[in-house]
Amino acid sequence: MQAFELLSKTMQKKIWDMKWDKLTPIQNRTIPVIIETNKDIILSSATASGKTEAAFLPIISLIEDNAENQLKVLYISPLKALINNQFERIERLCEYSSIPIHKWHGDVSQSQKNKFVKNPSGILQITPESVESLFINRTDHIKNLFKGIEFIVIDEIHSFINSERGVQLRSLLSRIEQYTVQRPRIVGLSATIVNFELVKEWVNYKDTDNVEIIEAVGSEKELQYYLMHFETGEDRKLPVELFEDIRDISRENKTIIFCNRRGQVEETTVFLNRLAEKDNVGETYYAHHSSIDKKEREYVEKTMVESKTPKSVVATSSLELGIDIGDVDIVMQLDSTFTVSSLKQRLGRSGRKKGADQMLQLYTTEEDSLLQSIAVMELVLEKWIEPATGYPVPYDILFHQLISICQETNGSTLEALIANIKGNHIFHVMQQGKVEQIILHMLENDHLEKVKGSKELIVGIEGERILRSKEFYAVFMSPEVYTVLEGVRTIGTLDKIVAFEVGDPIILAGRLWEINTIDFKKNKIYVKKAVNGKPPRYGGGPIDIHNRIGEKMIEILCSNQQFGYFNNTAKYTLEDMKKPYHDYSVKPNERMLWKTKHEITFDTYTGSKNTQNLIWALRSLGVNIKERDGLGRILINGFNGDIAEVIRQAQEKQWVIEDLMSVTHEQEMFVSKFSTYLPKDIQEELHTINKINLKGMEKYLATHSFRVIDLE
């Protein structure tokens, strides 16, 4: 039977009204599985292939007769902005049914939330943090809220799998199951998943055979791509010629220009608008990143959708996921992304028009960025993506969830609490002894409290301090910030890592400001318009590069491969980078240590974790490590011994974790939002699991040869 015929009459009518010629491949394959089986489903296909409709056309068909008076579908999104975008899209699909659609996040009014809580129905769009808030603040209502849920749709599921946020979400889904009449089916949507076995286990470890993977491999559009390299001067400022090229290409096209840093977004936006002013077209480029106020970002998104003339947005990963800004003609990437999946996700933002190709313009401004950009691009062309690895042994999120569960249940016996954790989908693998140790530690530190004369455990005074913080609902770390205002209008935020003074010129939201006053007590900075500004500096988390990217870079350096997709500057720069590798006939499985009079540069060309483990290993063997760069080169200074002998010792040594732990600096330890509340030995175990990989390092040392080249 054709997929279309399986849909309800109202859904069929909606498809006719939308004037679809046919269903997409992912829709044809998904509709029968959702309607005719009881399986969980992972949909993996290219951006703009119709995944959302593939999930909701059959789901709406199944629930439309009984969704008016019960909540039937929980739609979970990583972003509030994505919820707002998808709300209208799903609402349109429900036009001929009586299924209500609701939003729940920090920007939804309390009156709307209260109205929904009294009469839960239809489809609820929500973030993990808001699900957490339901368990904390609506404990009397959650049984009635959740009991009728039949489907849980997780958008951009790949963004959760490897993170602490994914652990929190999976725990919350397990807790929801305790209130539902039947176990809800999970439907995950993604464009960048390859490690399906891990994802299946995350979705349903009890019955992975009941998780159906639907992958539309052949749905990608034709990709057209080019790379331009521009050399930066000694001042490291981006050259004017780079901005002029971006302007020339984007002048007649709707474009997303992706940057890796928020400060670079600001600088690029201002410079491009200066060029646009010469064409007398006014403001044509808009800034978009997480430190710009929500209303400003929404204004940019709305303007991009509605504009009849070419306008472009300069963004970080804030627009990497599927927020709708209309049909984008070209995607630009300024310097290399750190992952292949990120570049694939970004280039998928273009080519959404019928019959249009995906268009990608890469720019690089430094040698290292050029090499990494080529490596990442080549891996995209090879259709390789970083496999999901999961978030290992989440003791830190367990601490958070124990507080949440005790609040939800208004107290619990130790036995019931342990049973709850043992039955939780994400925590079930934890040793009971470790769970008990954490609970005992929480009791000792007043995070939990035992009620006198009872076996009940409740949230303690220190636990209440954490629970009542507005930061409790999110399990990821966020920096302390100043709120920036022009009068009463909020512009955005600035990280407190920078010391600001009155009179400082800054760029924020793509505009120039001068700091007027600073209210340190209220963490507010007031600004006025200016004619000059500097891009702000923001903090950032550690960058994790996969081993395969490092390997690809040295393969490129050692090869004679010619690349036909970049300009002469890129060609000649890459040739210069290749020269020493070809002069010394380096092979891809060799790693070089370049020695000068004062220092040694160790080209590791591996992943971030391997590089850090090598630093600790060398340090434990008496080598002074000065620093490492973004490509994983280890700079060694003040070493007068035989470095080749040290490498041989590293290859022959039987490494144990203590060897690396004994030389680990305090700032190199693994730290997460809740890890510092755990017993010291468990904090060290978290560090060991997250940052040390002896097998990986030993394999690297065993499978590569190492050569010292004396350049003196």
Mean pLDDT of 30-41: 96
- Whether 165 and 253 share a structural domain: no
Q: Tens digit of pLDDT for each residue in 397-427? A: 999 999 999 999 999 999 999 999 999 999 9
Instruction: Indicate whether 431 belongs to any domain.
Output: yes
The whole-number pLDDT of residue 523 equals: 94
For the chain, percent of residues with pLDDT exceeding 90: 79
Instruction: Indicate whether 570 belongs to any domain.
Output: no
What would the two tokens of residue 145 be? 């809220």
**pLDDT of residue 435 exceeding 90:** yes
The whole-number pLDDT of residue 218 equals: 55
Sheet bearing 151-154, strands edge to edge: 101-104, 122-126, 71-76, 151-154, 185-190, 40-45, 211-216
What would the two tokens of residue 683 be? 């904090």
What would the two tokens of residue 634 be? 């280890």
- Whether 148 and 293 share a structural domain: no
Report the mean per-residue pLDDT for the chain: 93
Burial of 271 (0-12, 13-18, 19+ CB in 10 A): buried
Q: Tens digit of pLDDT for each residue in 176-192? A: 999 999 999 999 999 88
Q: What are the beta bridge partners of residue 481? A: 495
Q: Name the domain boundary from 416, 441, 467.
A: 467
- Whether 143 and 163 share a structural domain: yes
- Whether 213 and 233 share a structural domain: no
Instruction: Indicate whether 505 belongs to any domain.
Output: yes
Mean pLDDT of 440-447: 98
- Whether 376 and 401 share a structural domain: no
**pLDDT of residue 13 exceeding 60:** yes
The whole-number pLDDT of residue 327 equals: 84
Determine the Cα–Cα distance for residues 57 and 188; give it in Å rounded to an integer. 15
Q: Name the domain boundary from 489, 509, 529.
A: 529
**pLDDT of residue 1 exceeding 70:** no
The whole-number pLDDT of residue 50 equals: 86
The whole-number pLDDT of residue 504 equals: 94
**pLDDT of residue 225 exceeding 80:** yes
- Pick from 612, 557, 83: nearest CA to 301: 83
Mean pLDDT of 319-324: 81
Instruction: Indicate whether 659 belongs to any domain.
Output: yes
- Whether 200 and 54 share a structural domain: yes
Provide CB contacts within 8 A for 406, sequence distance 6+: 412, 417, 448, 457, 458, 459, 463
Mean pLDDT of 580-609: 95
Q: Name the domain boundary from 218, 237, 259.
A: 218
**pLDDT of residue 354 exceeding 90:** no
Instruction: Indicate whether 535 belongs to any domain.
Output: no
Range of the domain at 419: 395-467
- Whether 41 and 187 share a structural domain: yes
CB 103 within 8 A of CB 125: yes
- CATH number of the domain that residue 291 is part of: 3.40.50.300
**pLDDT of residue 220 exceeding 70:** no
Instruction: Indicate whether 566 belongs to any domain.
Output: no
- Whether 351 and 412 share a structural domain: no
**Could you give the number of structural domains in the chain?**
5
- Whether 321 and 338 share a structural domain: yes
Sheet bearing 511-519, strands edge to edge: 489-495, 481-486, 524-529, 511-519, 505-508
Quick one: pLDDT band at residue 89, thresholds 50, 70, 90?
Answer: confident
**pLDDT of residue 118 exceeding 70:** yes
Instruction: Indicate whether 441 belongs to any domain.
Output: yes
**pLDDT of residue 219 exceeding 70:** no
Mean pLDDT of 516-527: 95
Provide CB contacts within 8 A for 81, sequence distance 6+: 294, 297, 298, 301, 318, 323
Q: Tens digit of pLDDT for each residue in 248-307? A: 999 999 999 999 999 999 999 999 999 999 888 878 899 999 999 999 999 999 999 888
Mean pLDDT of 536-555: 89
> What are the φ and ψ backbone dihedral angles of 669, each rounded to 5 degrees?
-70, 150
The whole-number pLDDT of residue 608 equals: 95
The count of C-alpha atoms lying within 13 angstroms of the C-alpha of 616, restricted to the half-sphere facing its C-beta, is 26
The whole-number pLDDT of residue 292 equals: 95
CB 621 within 8 A of CB 646: yes
The whole-number pLDDT of residue 323 equals: 81
DSSP state of 121: -
CB 395 within 8 A of CB 686: yes
- Whether 524 and 667 share a structural domain: no
CB 255 within 8 A of CB 249: yes
- Whether 130 and 170 share a structural domain: yes
- Full-model pTM: 0.93
- Whether 427 and 324 share a structural domain: no
Quick one: pLDDT band at residue 544, thresholds 50, 70, 90?
Answer: confident
Determine the Cα–Cα distance for residues 273 and 311; give it in Å rounded to an integer. 11
- CATH number of the domain that residue 453 is part of: 1.10.10
Instruction: Indicate whether 192 belongs to any domain.
Output: yes
The whole-number pLDDT of residue 654 equals: 96
The whole-number pLDDT of residue 217 equals: 67
∠ CA 404-679-135, nearest 5°, is 5
Mean pLDDT of 634-652: 94
